[in-house]
Amino acid sequence: MQYPEPIAKLIDSYMRLPGIGEKTAVRLAFFTIDMDKEDVSEFSKALVSAKSDLHYCSLCGNITESDPCVICADKTRDQQQVIVVEQVKDVMAFEKLRDYHGLYHVLHGVLSPSEGIGPEDINVKGLIRRLQANPEIKEVILATNATPEGEATAMYISRLIKPAGIKTTRLAHGLAVGSDIEYADEMTLFKAVEGRQEI
């Protein structure tokens, strides 16, 4: 049996989301159809707003409504430390800690020659420009995931930064190898930051 076209399009739209297979997409589509019209309208407005009202901070690459983002604009934060992360969701994971009060830099990916991702495809140039423009920064904490690509990216960035005399550290082994920062619990992240080591 074929679904009516509006339902088929809705199922197809849900299947484009990561981790959503056909069965889950069908369930979500029918759940959406059963929602109140006002709730569906609010849901669609939230989707459009997230896409149109958000952009990346020109300083750190974090997702924001204003430029610079609230973290970069907050002068009470420690201006001497920058944590370099792979994705925006990693910033959120560190912010949940409430124990780190420095700055961030989002790479929007990692080096992966097998997938054709080189230094020009991630936000490395932005980091180097930022370090050159801000002599206050004394330490860069490399917080890429403990994957081969994350490790390679951390080593690449540390080699670029070392000649400038900026202290470069890596998160300690509180994170399991092959794991993603966004799924780590707060204590694991805290221990990883606390036990970081210079590269």
pLDDT tens profile 189-199: 877 787 777 77
Give the model's pLDDT for residue 167: 95
Pick the CATH number of 59-198 from 3.40.228.10, 3.50.50.60, 3.40.1360.10, 1.20.970.10: 3.40.1360.10
Give the model's pLDDT for residue 111: 96
Give the model's pLDDT for residue 195: 75
Terminal-to-terminal C-alpha distance of the chain: 60
Give the model's pLDDT for residue 121: 96
Query: What is the fold of 5-52?
Result: Helicase, Ruva Protein; domain 3 (1.10.8)
Taking 70 as the pLDDT cut, the residues of the chain under it are 1, 173-175, 177, 187
DSSP E strands: which ranges in the chain? 55-56, 63-64, 81-85, 103-106, 139-142, 167-170, 197-198
